[in-house]
Structure 1
Amino acid sequence: MTPLFLGSEIYRGSSYGRWHPLRVPRVSTVMDLSRAMGWLGPDQYRNSPRAKPAALAVWHTPEYVAALERAEVDQAVSDAVRTRHGLGTVSNPIYPEMFRRPATAAGASLLAGELLKNGGVIYHPGGGTHHGMRDRAGGFCYLNDPVLAMLSLRRNGARRIAYVDIDAHHCDGVEEGFAGDPDTLLISIHEDRRWPFTGALTDDGGGNCLNLPVPRDFNDTEMAAVRDGLILPAVAAFRPDAIVLQCGADAVTEDPLSRLTLSNNAHWAVLRALMALDAPRLLVLGGGGYNPWSVGRLWTGVWATLNGLEIPKTLPPPAEAVLRALTWEGARAGRNPPSHWFTTLRDAPRPGRVRTEILEGLRVLATRDMF
């Protein structure tokens, strides 16, 4: 099955603001880098549509969608709207495309469910906004496109959906949307004691959630143990006809919003393992990621992995030029980036020992009925 890439130019010039973590380019970098590598031709690219309010209301409340639309038009919100809907906050600020940008991500996720009706593989790096709640914004997420994607998959014939989230932060919004649903398996690997402070090991979401909070300095060897000891056996036992992978890039060492120490190899290895399960539908979403070089390199490697392409040791000049053109204003790491951020996609592996708390978490979750 030839993978399809869903993208949009709206991400190129859109920013949450000068000092917000999402001031950095991400999806546009993946598009440019993939094209510079010769990996993304017009036959595999499709422009993301913008979801209409009625389509968003299949999960989000009409009142919230209307408030989000109005906030973009007015470029302001009342205190009452800020309190009720979480708009106009430090995390979810007012900015020019605050409805159009998330509605585009949501539109792509809704479209993905339709395109996957008869099976296939879709990559949507602009998706993965897993903190959006039914009636309010949260954690940089104004809408919850993973929930909308899963509802669309279900409307288009998917009966059993496995959602795997390897972002550094717990998928609280997705859990709100599907907790207790016996035809959905939710797996979240996230940093312990990290916002939003949900997803405890004991939280089973009504029986269908496997939450594994991991300690800081979580390394590639530990992720391999989690992949082989939790993710793969649980998904295989669930026997889904659709897999959704939220591939947030904020669990790597260089990211400023976590204290995990993965290399991008760990993410690609999880993806390869899930691909090998041969579920008829596979949707890969983006998510977190706040270092423009690390997220651009990781997500471009995701596209290579989906296509079975070899990742070269060094990048050709056009691809290197894409990475050298990036800036990261206001970040110390952006003042003097290491050379490998320009010249490679693949990080050096970051192995280590598998700590007792990881093994204990795996032991606890292995007793759940989903295996």
Structure 2
Amino acid sequence: MQSARFIGSEIYRTSTYGPWHPLRVPRVSTVMDLSRALGWLPQDVYLNSPRAKPAALHVWHTPEYIAALQKAEATRSVSQPDRETFHIGTPANPVFPEMYRRPATAAGGSLLAGELLRDGGVIYNPAGGTHHGMPGHAGGFCYLNDPVLAMLSLRRNGVTRIAYVDIDAHHPDGVARGFHGDPDCLMISVHEDGLWPRTGALEDRAGGSAINLPVPQGLNDDEMAYIRDALILPQVDRFKPDAIVLQCGADAVEEDPQSHLSLSNQAHWSIVRALMGMAPRYLVLGGGGYNPWSVGRLWTGVWGILSGQTIPTHLPPEAEQVLRALTFDGNRRGKNPSAHWFTTLADRPRNGAIRDVVRQRVSVLTGQTTARRVFAK
């Protein structure tokens, strides 16, 4: 099998949603810089992401919406009717200089991944994972829905059965809509209960194609390991997918300012490792993540795992310099950064008791899926 490949772009280095938006922080550029400082990103595995053309986006997004995005970028303004119709020019989805080009580049990377995985392999597109985008409007910082576009690209390139696993703190409402009731798509989402967009209830099966696990605040590493072993891996194994798409949002770690979960980055890495080899095609995307140190370290570690590297216990000076150059103004976590944010990739495990509510919800889901399989026979 060909070596894992990394899709990136320099557009993420200079583009920002604005000085006070949660996505003002550098993320993909930090992963690229850290990976290069560690010697993990040689040119022969790095692919520059293409920018998706409007026609390629129309397989999911409406032409009217794509045209409105382009118009808003060109004029740096949004009319009131367009704001109300397309949900752009809002505090969550603001107008900024690259508001079409940046998401179209992330989407172009995910579309390309579907083509590159035709014959198998591993692709990492950390700029992807924008799972809230809807066909005709933006949502939750997501102007486009590149996971849906990636999965449609996989389908065009001969893939039938796709397992989509999402461990972002937020429920992937756009993906749930895109594959509602599709028997050849298994969607598993582990997300914080009650967090925006407040969808993905335990009983919500999205037409039979989804397994939603809302988890309580404070979710710890042992609880995520239990979810991994009792729910995620058995369901993926039974489904026998042709491809796995993992949305590895970094906002479920304890240091993230947008959620209330207590995971270490090692909890995410354990799922990345566990899903490797369970299908001949593996696409890993980014997603949420709003602390520049925690998201940069987590996603760099993801690339290390996918590319077969050993995670160092202490970063070399070149990598440490990348992390020390980051700032996080306007947030209390950035005022007193922990020392390990500069010197290591791996967090210490955040262990704890497996609470009854977690066991009960997993039991409900595994009981539902077992009952459906028996009935189907």
TM-score range, shorter chain: over 0.9
Q: Which amino acid aligns with 2:290?
A: Y
Instruction: For 1:219 and 1:334, locate their aligned partners in 2 and report how far apart those are by CA, in whole Å.
Output: 22
RMSD (CA atoms) = 0.8
| Shift in Å, 1:368 | 3.0
Deviation digits for residues 342-369 of structure 1 (CA, Å, limit 9, x no counterpart): 0000000000011111111111110234
What does residue 217 of structure 1 align with?
A: 218
What does residue 131 of structure 1 align with?
A: 132
What does residue 107 of structure 1 align with?
A: 108
Give me the TM-score of the superposition, normalised by structure 2: 0.97
Secondary structure in structure 2 of the residue aligned to 1:82: helix
What does residue 15 of structure 1 align with?
A: 16
Instruction: For 1:267 and 1:97, locate their aligned partners in 2 and report how far apart those are by CA, in whole Å.
Output: 30
Q: Which amino acid aligns with 2:171?
A: H
| Shift in Å, 1:309 | 1.2
What does residue 177 of structure 1 align with?
A: 178
Q: Which amino acid aligns with 1:204?
A: R
Q: Which amino acid aligns with 1:139?
A: G
Instruction: For 1:70 and 1:255, locate their aligned partners in 2 and report how far apart those are by CA, in whole Å.
Output: 33
What does residue 270 of structure 1 align with?
A: 271
| Shift in Å, 1:135 | 0.4
What does residue 49 of structure 2 align with?
A: 48
Count of residue pairs brought into register by the alignment: 370
| Shift in Å, 1:335 | 1.8
What does residue 346 of structure 2 align with?
A: 346
Say whether residues 1:329 and 2:329 are aligned partners.
Answer: yes
What does residue 310 of structure 1 align with?
A: 310
Unaligned runs of 5+ in 1: none
Instruction: For 1:186 and 1:333, locate their aligned partners in 2 and report how far apart those are by CA, in whole Å.
Output: 33
Instruction: For 1:331 and 1:358, locate their aligned partners in 2 and report how far apart those are by CA, in whole Å.
Output: 31
Deviation digits for residues 314-347 of structure 1 (CA, Å, limit 9, x no counterpart): 0000000000001111112112211110000000
What does residue 90 of structure 2 align with?
A: 89
Secondary structure in structure 2 of the residue aligned to 1:189: strand
Instruction: For 1:244 and 1:72, locate their aligned partners in 2 and report how far apart those are by CA, in whole Å.
Output: 30
Deviation digits for residues 158-198 of structure 1 (CA, Å, limit 9, x no counterpart): 11000000000000000010010000000000000100000
What does residue 30 of structure 1 align with?
A: 31
Secondary structure in structure 1 of the residue aligned to 2:367: coil
Instruction: For 1:308 and 1:355, locate their aligned partners in 2 and report how far apart those are by CA, in whole Å.
Output: 34
Say whether residues 1:162 and 2:158 are aligned partners.
Answer: no
Secondary structure in structure 2 of the residue aligned to 1:98: coil
Deviation digits for residues 113-136 of structure 1 (CA, Å, limit 9, x no counterpart): 000000010000000000000100
Instruction: For 2:7 and 2:234, locate their aligned partners in 1 and report how far apart those are by CA, in whole Å.
Output: 29
Structure-to-structure mapping, 1:53-64, within 5 angstroms: 53-64=54-65
Q: Which amino acid aligns with 2:49?
A: S
What does residue 254 of structure 2 align with?
A: 253
Instruction: For 2:202 and 2:356, locate their aligned partners in 1 and report how far apart those are by CA, in whole Å.
Output: 15
| Shift in Å, 1:210 | 0.1
Deviation digits for residues 285-313 of structure 1 (CA, Å, limit 9, x no counterpart): 00000000000000000001112211111
Structure-to-structure mapping, 1:136-147, within 5 angstroms: 136-147=137-148
| Shift in Å, 1:94 | 0.4
Instruction: For 2:24 and 2:53, locate their aligned partners in 1 and report how far apart those are by CA, in whole Å.
Output: 25
What does residue 237 of structure 2 align with?
A: 236
Instruction: For 1:328 and 1:13, locate their aligned partners in 2 and report how far apart those are by CA, in whole Å.
Output: 16
| Shift in Å, 1:269 | 0.2
Identity of aligned residues (%): 69
Secondary structure in structure 2 of the residue aligned to 1:157: coil
Deviation digits for residues 258-288 of structure 1 (CA, Å, limit 9, x no counterpart): 00000000000001110042x1100000000
Say whether residues 1:293 and 2:324 are aligned partners.
Answer: no
Give me the TM-score of the superposition, normalised by structure 1: 0.99
What does residue 121 of structure 1 align with?
A: 122
Instruction: For 1:150 and 1:65, locate their aligned partners in 2 and report how far apart those are by CA, in whole Å.
Output: 19
Q: Which amino acid aligns with 1:199?
A: G
Instruction: For 1:338 and 1:270, locate their aligned partners in 2 and report how far apart those are by CA, in whole Å.
Output: 25
Q: Which amino acid aligns with 2:191?
A: H
Instruction: For 2:155 and 2:223, locate their aligned partners in 1 and report how far apart those are by CA, in whole Å.
Output: 33
Instruction: For 1:19 and 1:52, locate their aligned partners in 2 and report how far apart those are by CA, in whole Å.
Output: 29
Instruction: For 2:365 and 2:128, locate their aligned partners in 1 and report how far apart those are by CA, in whole Å.
Output: 28
Q: Which amino acid aligns with 2:275?
A: L
Q: Which amino acid aligns with 2:318?
A: P
Instruction: For 1:274 and 1:192, locate their aligned partners in 2 and report how far apart those are by CA, in whole Å.
Output: 24
What does residue 367 of structure 1 align with?
A: 367
Secondary structure in structure 2 of the residue aligned to 1:185: strand
Structure-to-structure mapping, 1:197-212, within 5 angstroms: 197-212=198-213
What does residue 81 of structure 2 align with?
A: 80
